[in-house]
């Protein structure tokens, strides 16, 4: 089985890293005024500047050679053709088919899945029309005004993030809310601001077994029964699921069930019927544009030479820092309020996909894989965790995501926003030397001793890498492109690490351990075979009462 670290290309990169790690980007920028032109690319309305990385032309050549040695091109073909690349579950990962407007046929086990997708779109779009035309009526005859998506993980983050991003394209007639956390505070926060007679609940769960989602669904049904005084609640529920029979058992009729397929991973499902809340709010044309934008990225990923291929370069740069600079984390910081849930969304996409410790054949991995992804909207981060990015002892590559045109133009906000991002990226790249700070301090009247002491604390090493993804404006199409670029970046990482990016077995044990613990908490069962910590905490929990609150 292929192990990347045994490849000669890997060893060449290690040697190359040792040669350039002592060099500083600030000198490269000073000696090469064309560095930005040489290390930036565009795709549609998105500019990708990767010049502030610890790379030379040679680095990229070696990284591309590594990608070739890992047969990346063939793996990309396999992804799009529907090979069973999710080997532990023996299925393809065909989220790209959901936005494939180019072809008319894509056969999977002899069945044309593109026609199934068209059928799903037809059903989705008919439902959207009906709701937006106020023809979908609740049990009391009221048109739908409130949409509540009930789901978690991939059945929540994608539509929730995208809807915030595209708030400027949203219907003003409809309101959309999301409930994910099992904490009933989340549920009642939403129930408190809707009217039951004009609310449609979308129960989004690929498996239709997820405890958080199903518990909410049951509580919502009881609440609706009480509020509306009827058990006839069909008009108030829709399900999006790959387990139609389970949704039907819950009481949702087949006509209200939107399909999903096992070849769409939850975290890659925003393009599917899981995108229904988004499509309802932004409308069919905008949702199609969103899919089209993703297809633009798909086409670029399939066709561009690796050296000019944005997701390939993003993935290779991630490998570069994770495996050759021992970097453990990656920051994504959108300088856009609209994109403030993007890091949350990417956290699942990246960490559930590439947080793996075995190779595709099950052999243990002896090198680092998926980094910890964190972040938040720019400016806020500057006043919180950026200190660590500038002076901490970890090397944390950062993606700055900028949006040139705001839907809310107000001087001087937008220029300050953009200048903030650029100054942070510049500070990370160039740093500030001891000598520069010393000189500044002396010029400010400090004594030699005071200046020397202060300079030790104030110096910034710089040479901290970042990418800048600069979008012209947040539109459905541009958002689609951006998200698909990240999906493909994650795919590239997975291929090079030789892991299966499309399963998530790590989350299963916790799910298995929950029911017996729940039985202990509720007194249904005696606590058997529990460790002393879990047992101690259960006992503690049972002794708590909330009288004092």
Give catalytic residue positions. Answer: 352, 383, 511
Q: Give me the least distance between CB of 352 and ligand F6P, in Å please.
A: 6
Site residue total, ligand F6P (CB under 6 A): 14
**One of 149, 170, 205, 468 touching ligand F6P (CB under 6 A):** 205
How many other C-beta atoms lie within 10 A of the C-beta of residue 278?
A: 28
Calculate the alpha carbon distances from 412 to 292, 417, 537 in Å: 33, 9, 53
Q: Give me the least distance between CB of 267 and ligand F6P, in Å please.
A: 6
Q: Give me the least distance between CB of 348 and ligand F6P, in Å please.
A: 7
Q: Which is nearer to ligand F6P, 213 or 475 (CB)?
A: 213
Q: Distance (Å, rounded) from C-alpha 62 to C-alpha 56?
A: 10
**Residue 495 burial (CB < 10 Å; 0-12/13-18/19+)?**
buried
485: left (phi over 0), alpha (psi -120 to 50) or beta: alpha
Q: By CB under 6 A, is residue 207 in contact with ligand F6P?
A: yes
Q: Say what the alpha-carbon torsion angle 98, 99, 101, 107 is, to the nearest 10 degrees.
A: -30
**One of 53, 59, 86, 155 touching ligand F6P (CB under 6 A):** 155
Q: By CB under 6 A, is residue 466 in contact with ligand F6P?
A: no
**What does the DSSP assignment read for 463-520?**
---EEEEEEEE--HHHHHHHHHHHHHHHHHHHHHHT--TT--GGGHHHHHHHHHHHHH
Q: By CB under 6 A, is residue 210 in contact with ligand F6P?
A: yes
Calculate the alpha carbon distances from 340 to 147, 172, 379, 414, 486 in Å: 21, 21, 11, 16, 16
Q: By CB under 6 A, is residue 213 in contact with ligand F6P?
A: yes
Piece of 186-194, 200-208, 470-478, 526-534 that binds ligand F6P (CB under 6 A): 200-208
**One of 18, 388, 507, 525 touching ligand F6P (CB under 6 A):** 507
Q: Which is nearer to ligand F6P, 263 or 306 (CB)?
A: 263
Q: Which is nearer to ligand F6P, 121 or 267 (CB)?
A: 267
Q: Distance (Å, rounded) from C-alpha 417 to C-alpha 357?
A: 39
**One of 82, 92, 159, 266 touching ligand F6P (CB under 6 A):** 266
Q: Which is nearer to ligand F6P, 94 or 428 (CB)?
A: 94
Piece of 26-34, 151-159, 302-310, 376-384 that binds ligand F6P (CB under 6 A): 151-159
Q: By CB under 6 A, is residue 180 in contact with ligand F6P?
A: no
Phi, psi torsion values for 21, nearest 5 degrees? -65, -20
Q: Give me the least distance between CB of 233 and ligand F6P, in Å please.
A: 21
The 3-class SS string of 4-24 reads HHHCHHHHHHHHHHHHHCCCC
Q: By CB under 6 A, is residue 21 in contact with ligand F6P?
A: no
Q: Distance (Å, rounded) from C-alpha 356 to C-alpha 226?
A: 46
Piece of 1-9, 146-154, 377-385, 451-459 that binds ligand F6P (CB under 6 A): 146-154
Piece of 36-44, 123-131, 204-212, 372-380 that binds ligand F6P (CB under 6 A): 204-212
Q: How far apart are the first and last CA of the chain?
A: 59
Q: By CB under 6 A, is residue 206 in contact with ligand F6P?
A: yes
Piece of 148-156, 164-172, 410-418, 469-477 that binds ligand F6P (CB under 6 A): 148-156
Q: Which is nearer to ligand F6P, 159 or 293 (CB)?
A: 159
What residues numbered 290-349 form the site for ligand F6P, per CB under 6 A? none
Calculate the alpha carbon distances from 392 to 220, 327, 465 in Å: 47, 12, 14
Piece of 22-30, 199-207, 517-525, 533-541 that binds ligand F6P (CB under 6 A): 199-207
Q: Do residues 485 and 311 touch, judged by C-beta distance below 8 A?
A: yes
Q: Distance (Å, rounded) from C-alpha 3 to C-alpha 445?
A: 58
Q: Which is nearer to ligand F6P, 149 or 213 (CB)?
A: 213
Q: Distance (Å, rounded) from C-alpha 180 to C-alpha 445?
A: 57
Q: Which is nearer to ligand F6P, 228 or 244 (CB)?
A: 244
Q: Give me the least distance between CB of 210 and ligand F6P, in Å please.
A: 3
Q: By CB under 6 A, is residue 18 in contact with ligand F6P?
A: no
Q: Give me the least distance between CB of 161 and ligand F6P, in Å please.
A: 13
Q: By CB under 6 A, is residue 152 in contact with ligand F6P?
A: yes
Calculate the alpha carbon distances from 206 to 127, 257, 408, 548 in Å: 19, 11, 37, 41
Q: Give me the least distance between CB of 89 and ligand F6P, in Å please.
A: 12
170: left (phi over 0), alpha (psi -120 to 50) or beta: beta
Q: Which is nearer to ligand F6P, 45 or 352 (CB)?
A: 352
Contact footprint for ligand F6P (CB under 6 A): 152-155, 205-207, 210, 213, 266-267, 352, 504, 507
């Amino acid at each position: 089985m292929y192990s990347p670290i045994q490849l000669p290309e890997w060893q060449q990169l290690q040697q190359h890293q040792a040669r350039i790690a002592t060099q500083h980007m600030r000198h490269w920028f000073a000696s090469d005024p064309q560095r930005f032109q040489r290390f930036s690319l565009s795709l549609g309305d998105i500019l990708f500047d990767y010049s502030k990385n610890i790379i030379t032309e040679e680095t990229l050549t070696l990284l591309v050679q590594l990608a070739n040695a890992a047969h990346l091109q063939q793996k990309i073909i396999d992804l799009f053709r529907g090979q069973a690349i999710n080997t532990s579950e023996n299925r393809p990962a065909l989220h790209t088919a959901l936005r494939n407007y180019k072809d008319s046929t894509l056969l999977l086990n002899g069945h044309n899945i593109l026609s199934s997708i068209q059928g799903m779109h037809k059903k989705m779009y008919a439902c959207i029309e009906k709701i937006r035309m106020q023809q979908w009526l609740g049990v009391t005859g009221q048109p739908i005004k409130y949409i509540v998506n009930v789901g978690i993980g991939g059945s929540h983050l994608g539509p929730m993030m995208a809807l915030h991003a595209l708030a400027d394209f949203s219907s003003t007639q409809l309101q959309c809310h999301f409930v994910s956390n099992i904490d009933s505070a989340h549920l009642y926060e939403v129930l408190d601001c809707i009217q039951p007679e004009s609310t449609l609940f979308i129960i989004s769960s690929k498996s239709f077994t997820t405890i958080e989602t199903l518990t909410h669904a049951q509580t919502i049904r009881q609440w609706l029964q009480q509020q509306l005084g009827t058990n006839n609640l069909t008009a108030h529920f829709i399900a999006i699921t790959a387990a139609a029979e389970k949704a039907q058992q819950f009481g949702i009729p087949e006509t209200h069930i939107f399909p999903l397929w096992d070849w769409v991973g939850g975290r890659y499902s925003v393009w599917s019927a899981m995108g229904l809340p988004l499509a309802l709010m932004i409308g069919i044309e905008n949702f199609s544009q969103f899919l089209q934008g993703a297809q633009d990225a798909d086409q670029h990923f399939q066709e561009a030479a690796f050296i000019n291929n944005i997701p390939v370069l993003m993935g290779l740069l991630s490998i570069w820092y994770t495996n050759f600079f021992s970097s453990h984390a990656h920051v994504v910081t959108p300088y856009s309020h609209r994109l403030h849930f993007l890091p949350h969304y990417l956290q699942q996409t990246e960490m559930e996909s590439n947080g793996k410790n075995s190779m595709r054949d099950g052999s243990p991995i002896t090198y680092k894989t998926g980094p910890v992804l964190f972040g938040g909207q720019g400016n806020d981060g500057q006043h919180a965790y950026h200190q660590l990015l500038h002076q901490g002892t970890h090397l944390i590559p950062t993606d700055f995501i900028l949006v040139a045109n705001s839907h809310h133009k107000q001087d001087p906000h937008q220029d300050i926003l953009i200048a903030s991002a650029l100054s942070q990226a510049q500070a990370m790249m160039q740093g500030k030397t001891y000598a520069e700070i010393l000189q500044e301090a002396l010029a400010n009247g400090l004594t030699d001793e005071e200046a020397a002491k202060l300079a030790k604390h104030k110096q910034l090493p710089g040479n901290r890498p970042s990418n800048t993804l600069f979008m012209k404006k947040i539109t459905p199409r541009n958002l689609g492109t951006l998200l698909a670029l990240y999906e493909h970046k994650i795919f590239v990482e997975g291929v090079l690490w030789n892991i299966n990016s499309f399963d998530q077995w790590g989350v299963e044990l916790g799910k298995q351990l929950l029911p017996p613990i729940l039985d202990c908490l509720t007194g249904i069962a005696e606590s058997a075979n529990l460790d002393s910590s879990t047992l101690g905490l259960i006992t503690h929990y049972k002794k708590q009462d909330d009288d004092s609150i």
